[in-house]
């Protein structure tokens, strides 16, 4: 029983094995047939094509060196209003409000003047009294001078009488009593003359005292008049009210701040310039002049953007210790450059839009350099090298850079007019490699 079962198993295994061999044989035959009838690919020789690049021609031009800075507008003339005399406010100018406009010589604030007027009148009375005293003394001097003349005549008469009595007494025609009486009269006349002279000698010191009293009265009058004048606070210029701290009826003391005003059309901007940028405007100061500038509101663009002309007014004497920059002040002019609608140059029309505290962008106009090549900054390779096409080959040319400013680079050496500068990326660049030039871009370096 075991032998037939074993024989069947061997026969089944052999059948499956030969079936696999037959399938593999057919597959190999089919694969060989397909390989034998395949078409051979045509061999083509690869051609090496040079990289394609875009170029533009370089052209020199003149360029003005500018320095950009930011600053805050501040009043050139800011006056803080404070009282000089105590009192109660009885008048305030209707325009004396924050942002209000006041004209030159306008009355801004007035203190109650009644007591000050009385003080001035009292001082005037004292002046008149001192003048009357001087006039009285002058008249007294004239009277004394006349009295001296009369006293001199009286002395002369008494002298003659005394001489006559002495002559009579010598001849015994006059008694001793008559002689004594004549001598007494002569002596009295002399004493009267001397008394008048003494009074006249005392008049100069008295006159000095009277004049001193008059001078003091005039001083008191001037003080009273000044105090009355100080009750009225006037504007010294056309300007705007920056702040107000007073109301009608309020009692104020000397030195108390009541507000502040700043002059119209008189605005400055303080900017700070890095020392390395000062070389672009240094020649102006060397020649005794100052560069001009333009001021515009920062972060404001649009068709109605306004630009104010300015000039460098002064350079501060000290370097800023924190930023290591040189502070300078720009004076904003009253004329506006630019066009708004059909108007090209407006005088003072929009200066009111530029208020103290406005954050502005300032552009200082520096020197003008000729024969500069102005290129996009990204074209300059490390080491100040430009990629240039020369006879269809790459030239890595070093150039001399005058300045790198924002997205541009100013080159003043190493380039010639007409040089073909590569403007497209060129990975794997090698000196002298052959290049293919694409369609040229718009020429750059021409003044826009």
pLDDT digit string (tens) for 128-140?
A: 999 999 999 999 9
Letter string b/e over residues 343-381, b meaning 16 or more CB atoms within 10 A of that residue's CB: eeebeeeebeebeeebebbbbbbbeebeebbbbeeebbe
In this prediction, residue 347 carries a pLDDT of 38
- Tell me the angle at which helices 114-170 and 176-229 cross, rounded to the nearest 10 degrees: 170
Strands 78-82 and 257-263: antiparallel
pLDDT class of 118 with cuts at 50, 70, 90: very high
* Mean pLDDT of all residues in 309-337: 86
The mean pLDDT of the chain is: 85
pLDDT class of 44 with cuts at 50, 70, 90: low
The radius of gyration of the chain from alpha carbons, rounded to an integer in Å, stands at 56
* Mean pLDDT of all residues in 93-98: 91
In this prediction, residue 40 carries a pLDDT of 67
Contacts of 397 (CB under 8 A, 6+ apart): 385, 386, 388, 414, 415
Report which listed range, 39-43, 192-196, 300-304, is most confident.
192-196
Q: Phi first, then psi: give them for residue 314, nearest 5 degrees.
A: -160, 155
Residues in the chain: 448
pLDDT class of 219 with cuts at 50, 70, 90: very high
In this prediction, residue 375 carries a pLDDT of 92
In this prediction, residue 436 carries a pLDDT of 86
In this prediction, residue 252 carries a pLDDT of 94
Please write the tens of the pLDDT for every residue from 47-77: 677 888 899 999 999 999 999 999 999 999 9
**Cα(56)–Cα(422) distance, rounded to whole angstroms?**
7
In this prediction, residue 270 carries a pLDDT of 93
**Cα(334)–Cα(264) distance, rounded to whole angstroms?**
10
**Cα(411)–Cα(399) distance, rounded to whole angstroms?**
7
**Cα(35)–Cα(50) distance, rounded to whole angstroms?**
39
Q: Which one is predicted more confidently, 22 or 313?
A: 313
Please write the tens of the pLDDT for every residue from 387-442: 999 988 899 999 999 998 888 999 999 899 989 998 888 888 888 888 888 865 44
Please write the tens of the pLDDT for every residue from 253-270: 999 999 999 998 889 999
Among 297, 308, 382, 290, smallest CA distance to 346 is for: 308
> Is residue 447 scored above 90 in pLDDT?
no
pTM over 0.85: no
In this prediction, residue 446 carries a pLDDT of 34
Please write the tens of the pLDDT for every residue from 330-364: 999 865 554 444 434 433 444 557 889 999 999 99
- Share in percent of the chain as helix, strand, coil (round to 5): 35, 35, 30
Please write the tens of the pLDDT for every residue from 182-202: 888 888 988 988 988 898 888
């Amino acid at each position: 029983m075991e032998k037939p079962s074993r024989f069947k198993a061997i026969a089944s295994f052999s059948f499956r094995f030969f079936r696999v061999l037959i399938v593999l044989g057919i597959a190999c035959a089919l694969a060989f047939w397909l390989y034998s009838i395949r078409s051979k690919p045509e061999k083509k020789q690869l051609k090496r094509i040079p990289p394609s690049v875009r170029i533009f021609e370089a052209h020199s031009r003149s360029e003005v060196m500018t320095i950009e800075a930011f600053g805050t507008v501040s009043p050139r003339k800011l006056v803080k209003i404070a009282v000089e005399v105590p009192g109660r406010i009885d008048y305030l100018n209707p325009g004396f409000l924050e942002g209000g406009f006041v004209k030159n010589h306008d009355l801004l604030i007035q203190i109650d003047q009644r007591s000050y007027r009385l003080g001035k009148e009292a001082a005037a009375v004292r002046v008149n009294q001192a003048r009357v005293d001087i006039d009285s003394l002058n008249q007294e001097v004239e009277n004394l001078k006349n009295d001296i003349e009369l006293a001199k005549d009286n002395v002369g008469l008494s002298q003659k009488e005394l001489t006559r009595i002495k002559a009579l007494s010598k001849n015994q025609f006059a008694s001793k009593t008559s002689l004594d009486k004549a001598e007494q009269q002569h002596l009295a006349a002399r004493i009267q003359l001397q008394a008048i002279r003494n009074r006249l000698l005392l008049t100069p010191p008295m006159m000095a005292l009277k004049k001193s009293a008059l001078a003091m009265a005039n001083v008191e009058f001037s003080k009273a008049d000044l105090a009355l004048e100080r009750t009225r606070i006037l504007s010294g210029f056309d300007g705007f009210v920056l702040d107000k701290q007073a109301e009608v009826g309020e009692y104020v003391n000397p030195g108390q701040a009541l507000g502040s005003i700043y002059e119209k059309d008189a605005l400055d901007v303080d900017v700070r310039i890095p020392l390395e940028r000062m070389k672009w405007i240094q020649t102006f100061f060397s020649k005794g002049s100052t560069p001009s500038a333009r001021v515009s509101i920062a972060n404001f663009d649009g068709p109605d953007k306004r630009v104010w002309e300015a000039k460098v007014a002064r350079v501060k004497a000290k370097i800023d210790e924190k930023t290591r920059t040189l502070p300078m002040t720009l004076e904003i002019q009253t004329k506006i450059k630019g066009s708004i609608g059909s108007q090209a140059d407006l005088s003072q029309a929009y200066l009111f839009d530029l208020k103290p505290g406005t954050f502005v962008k300032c552009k200082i106009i520096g020197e003008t350099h000729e024969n500069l090549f102005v290129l996009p900054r990204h074209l300059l390779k490390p080491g100040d090298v430009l990629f240039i096409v020369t006879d269809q080959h790459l030239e890595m040319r070093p150039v001399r850079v005058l300045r790198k400013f924002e997205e541009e680079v100013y080159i003043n050496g190493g380039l010639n007019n007409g040089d073909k500068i590569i403007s497209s990326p060129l990975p794997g660049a090698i000196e002298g490699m052959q290049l293919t030039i694409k369609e040229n871009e718009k020429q750059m370096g021409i003044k826009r």
